[in-house]
Structure 1
Amino acid sequence: MTVACPSGLGGRRPPVERVRLDTHAHVWYAPRLVRTGDFQTPPSNALHLPWAPLLLVGGGAWLLRVAGFFHRGGALGYPVDYDEGVYFSAAALLSHGVLPYRDYFFVHPPGVALLWAPVAALTRVVDAATAFSVARWFVPVLGALSAVLCGRIAQSHWGTRAGIVAALVYAVHPEAAATERGFFLEPLLNLTCLGMAWVLLLPATGRRSWRQDAGAGVLLATACAIKLTAGVWVLAVVWALCLGGEGRRAVRVIGTAALTGLIWLGPFLVLAAEPMLEGLLRFQVMRPPDGELSTARRLLTMLGESHWGGALLSLLGLAVALGRLRRRDAVAERLFSAAWLLTVAAFLSAKSYWGQYNAGLAPAAALLSGLGASQLLLRAERHSRRFAAAVTLAVGLAALSALPVALRSANQRERGLLAIGGSIRAAVPPDAPLCAFEPAWAIAAGRLPGLPVGSPALVDPYGLMLHDALDGPSRFASAAAAFADDRTQRTVLPMLARCDALVLLGRGEWQLSAASERWVDEHFTRDGDVWKRKP
């Protein structure tokens, strides 16, 4: 005899894994279920859900990202952000023995430099411009993997429709797509956080559970070694597990993460503890504000404008997740709702905020979108087929609402970088010390800051100069106000004095004070984009 399992899903019987129960008179088979949101799925079945639709979305995500490279300028012809130049330079310099913190000021954990170092080591074989162009093609792969992983996590817990929606929302997320064409922190950060969530939420018991918790801890520490804002995922993991009565698991995950963090940071702490703590802690806490300063505008950038469709689904999923907060088995709902809320709070309270930071919100937002969509579609099925079809169409349009913006982003072109690189190549000998206020300008010329070894390692002039602004009793209302003060010029001017050529352009003119610009005029002569030292 088999025990019937009422579905409550409009006639759909949920999949079950039968468990043998012996009684005196009969053999009964009772279903053992794991709740996953819109239906209940046993752990064994969750591992055999279809991959094909998710891989298809992942392929589309990759094409959307590499679309920015199909033009005359190639990968270097797509706009290169200031931060990209900093991170690529840091990764490439590792292969030349030039270390962050010890040899130059760096305001992020070392993970991005270490993880990209094997790719950036191409600079040992070819010039920096070629290495950068080749390495940039690797980044869209990370975005495609993140889209697939978003879909797989949602599919495993809330059904295939939830997985497809989550993968689509991530694939067309404008900021995620844009950052996953270059050397930003977010491509590595998102993939690592999603990998951590995937490992953490896999069904397991006994020794396998211990191994999974250790793996999740390693990935969590890796995320924190990439960007400090990954700390929101640490809090989310603790919240998700402890509220479900799994405090021991939380201890295992966080304990493993702490040990792994020591492995990531330990060597640099030994070599340059004070500069490292200055960059990672003091600078981040005390730095002058920059970027979008309005809280309302930050919130609108995160949830409105190009994100309206995904944001509506995310907010619906957030409401569903919060409604399940007390369920012991709702670990995924607690994890992603906490990560979303904490990330939004971190962005609203941060000293600096730029639109590209929204890419860090994409994983939690996409997964909550999948949850919200699954619930919406489930309720629609209880009505007529026509109504269900209309709701399905609306959900699809909402999930893809950001696609036009993502396509416009892919069509952007870098109009001046290649010309600047050509000017530097023509005007500055390869062995002459060069100081460029945008690292990408030197990269386009086939050079790296700090090379030849012994040259000024001006990897991040923006961070270096703002760090100097902290030495004093007064605080500045903005980065622009800080750059006008002589304190910000204290370290950079001696470095410029050691260079044979400077590239200032708009950024250098913004960061140099009036007195520093006069000093440049006295010691250098402008030749197009390059300032050459006077004889």
Structure 2
Amino acid sequence: MPDRGAAAPARDALPFALFAGAVAVVLVVLAMLRPVDHDESQYVAAASLTARGLLPYRDYAYLQTPLQPFLLAPLVRAAGLWAWPALRIANALFAGVAVIAVAGAAMAAGAPRRVALSTAALFATTDILLFSAGTARNDALPAALLGGALWIAILAERRGSGYGAAAWVGLLLAAATATKLSYALPAGAYWLAALADRRRQPVAVMLGALPVVAFLAWTWWQSPAGFAFDVFRFPMEAPAEYYVATDRAWRLSNWAKVIDALKFLALGPALLAALVFVRERRWRRPDMLGWMMLAGLLAALLPSPTWRQYWLPLLPPLFIALALLWTRQPPQRAMRVAMAVFVVAGLAPSLAALANGPGLWRAMAESRAVGAALDRAGIAPDVPVATLSPQLLPAARRAPDPRFATGPFYFRSAGLLDRAEEGELALVSRARMPTYTPAAVLVGGEDRWTSGDPELDQAMQRWALTSGLRRVDVPRSRLRLFIR
């Protein structure tokens, strides 16, 4: 007689695998078609410079915690000219892991497979996730690490697993924090939940985090001043300086933050999922997922202004909790219709972005044209290029000048550092342009087509001209190249 008990898990595994594959394919395709965003600049630069042996904070500025450039540097070396698309694909796959982890954690917590996959699919349609998946930023990797940690934690809780699982949870949460600092709040929330319930093995969680803590300490030791400024001081001070300088101080107000929060959560089912959670009053006696959601909420609201990607730490525990709520009380027809409406709202920004055409591939062609122009001008591949758009350089077979590794984000600052401090921390601001003569300057990538500020590139162009550089023609390109 056939083993019917063995056949059922196999049948269950097949739809889960198909779901995982479909999510990965869709997110990768969207990442390949999404237009260029200037937010990608410092992340591509950091991975490229780390792949060449430079270290963040010591050799170049990196305005985040340091794990991602080290993890992705081997991918950049392997991809070569295709480093930028490869980084986008990696982020899309990280986002896919986050979605799959939500489904797996929901099933581990007791949700039926159909409910778990449905709520994970809702998570996948939020604009918060889709933007993070479609650009070469540092949002998708920590979300995947957080989702994996929740999956393991829930499995361990259900199965009574011991120190090993708890150590993995600590490692993953610490790695998420080492990728993006805002994930320190969910990591701390889990630690407090483990202290409150010793079955979660708080000592093992702490021991699992130690290798990542040691890594962070090592990167701090390389340049304590650079680490302190890039990771802590810049995020706290730079937004206020920038928005006040551009006469948009209202963006820092609490009412603007509330409006932004509602807008970003409403672009997809996250807002409705949060309302379902609040209506059920699960927040009055929060469990581990409740504490993680509260931490994610604080992680999104503490920065000013808040942006859509800041809300990503909230979503994995929120949609796992939604699956459990719907397991106990399936949604009525009105709720399903409302969710469908919010799904359309979540997909709309990505569809609108895709309507602009495959911006990545045009930018790649223009980058190759820049590389050819540099070759004709006799600029060797090992000569760094000063630009606010370093994401364009891998396809040109060039490396960014480390002093411009943050793209436009420190460059637009005015008073955070003086000239001596900028020199010490390998930074350049528009207010204090360098006195050296660069070998090559590339402009045109910090513009409206990348959601950038053209005035910043104009400052770079003035610097190139006053330094005596001559313009080199880049045929059929929006980019402008100046060489010594």
The answer to whether the superposition gives a TM-score over 0.5 is yes
Higher relative contact order (CA 8 A, sep 6+): 2
2:406 maps to 460
Q: Distance in 2 between matches of 1:461 and 1:159?
A: 44
1:104 maps to 60
Query: Quick one: structure 1 residues 49 and 362, their matched pair in 2 at CA, closer, same or farther if it must change by over 3 Å?
Result: farther
Indicate whether 1:498 and 2:438 are aligned: yes
Instruction: Tell me if the contact between 1:318 and 1:368 (Cα under 8 Å) persists in the aligned partners.
Output: no
Query: Quick one: structure 1 residues 427 and 166, their matched pair in 2 at CA, closer, same or farther if it must change by over 3 Å?
Result: same
Indicate whether 1:88 and 2:44 are aligned: yes
Amino acid at match of 2:340: L
**Secondary structure of the structure 1 residue equivalent to 2:442:** strand
1:147 maps to 99
Quote how far apart the aligned CAs of 1:108 are: 0.9
Query: Quick one: structure 1 residues 488 and 408, their matched pair in 2 at CA, closer, same or farther if it must change by over 3 Å?
Result: closer
Task: Give CA-to-partner distance per residue, 1:309-351, whole Å, 9 cap, x none.
Answer: 44212321245463572xxxxxxx6233233333233323303
**Secondary structure of the structure 2 residue equivalent to 1:108:** coil
2:149 maps to 196
Q: Distance in 1 between matches of 2:158 and 2:320?
A: 25
Q: Distance in 2 between matches of 1:371 and 1:205?
A: 14
1:122 maps to 78
Indicate whether 1:438 and 2:382 are aligned: no
Indicate whether 1:282 and 2:233 are aligned: yes
How many matched pairs? 436
**Secondary structure of the structure 2 residue equivalent to 1:501:** strand
Instruction: Tell me if the contact between 1:89 and 1:459 (Cα under 8 Å) persists in the aligned partners.
Output: yes
Task: Give CA-to-partner distance per residue, 1:427-468, whole Å, 9 cap, x none.
Answer: 323525421111123234332214xxxxx5421143433566
TM-score under structure 1 normalisation? 0.71
1:365-514 counterparts in 2 under 5 A? 365-377=318-330, 390=333, 393-394=336-337, 397=340, 400-402=343-345, 404-405=347-348, 406-410=350-354, 412-415=356-359, 417-418=363-364, 420-429=366-375, 430-431=379-380, 432-450=383-401, 456-465=402-411, 469-471=415-417, 488-489=429-430, 492-494=433-435, 497-504=437-444, 506=447, 507=452, 509-511=454-456
2:307 maps to 354
1:164 maps to 117
Quote how far apart the aligned CAs of 1:141 are: 2.5
Query: Quick one: structure 1 residues 411 and 368, their matched pair in 2 at CA, closer, same or farther if it must change by over 3 Å?
Result: farther
1:18 maps to none
Match of residue 226, structure 1, among 179, 191, 197: 179
Instruction: Tell me if the contact between 2:83 and 2:395 (Cα under 8 Å) persists in the aligned partners.
Output: no
Instruction: Tell me if the contact between 2:68 and 2:138 (Cα under 8 Å) persists in the aligned partners.
Output: yes
Task: Give CA-to-partner distance per residue, 1:272-308, whole Å, 9 cap, x none.
Answer: 222112211222222233685421322122322x22x
Match of residue 58, structure 1, among 11, 20, 24: 20
Instruction: Tell me if the contact between 2:238 and 2:413 (Cα under 8 Å) persists in the aligned partners.
Output: yes
Query: Quick one: structure 1 residues 110 and 519, their matched pair in 2 at CA, closer, same or farther if it must change by over 3 Å?
Result: closer
User: Which runs of 5 or more structure 1 residues have no equivalent in the other structure?
Assistant: 1-46, 70-74, 326-332, 381-387, 451-455, 473-486
Q: Distance in 2 between matches of 1:169 and 1:206?
A: 27
Q: Percent identity?
A: 20
Query: Quick one: structure 1 residues 407 and 154, their matched pair in 2 at CA, closer, same or farther if it must change by over 3 Å?
Result: farther
Match of residue 84, structure 2, among 132, 149, 154: 132
- Cα RMSD over matched residues? 3.4
Task: Give CA-to-partner distance per residue, 1:231-251, whole Å, 9 cap, x none.
Answer: 1212321343344x4387334
Indicate whether 1:316 and 2:272 are aligned: no
Indicate whether 1:212 and 2:165 are aligned: yes
Quote how far apart the aligned CAs of 1:203 are: 3.3
**Secondary structure of the structure 2 residue equivalent to 1:288:** helix
Instruction: Tell me if the contact between 1:310 and 1:398 (Cα under 8 Å) persists in the aligned partners.
Output: no
User: Which runs of 5 or more structure 2 residues have no equivalent in the other structure?
Assistant: 1-8, 244-250, 419-427, 474-478
Quote how far apart the aligned CAs of 1:222 are: 0.5
Quote how far apart the aligned CAs of 1:150 are: 0.3
Amino acid at match of 1:498: P
Instruction: Tell me if the contact between 2:108 and 2:154 (Cα under 8 Å) persists in the aligned partners.
Output: no
Instruction: Tell me if the contact between 1:111 and 1:226 (Cα under 8 Å) persists in the aligned partners.
Output: yes
TM-score under structure 2 normalisation? 0.78
Q: Distance in 2 between matches of 1:152 and 1:250?
A: 23
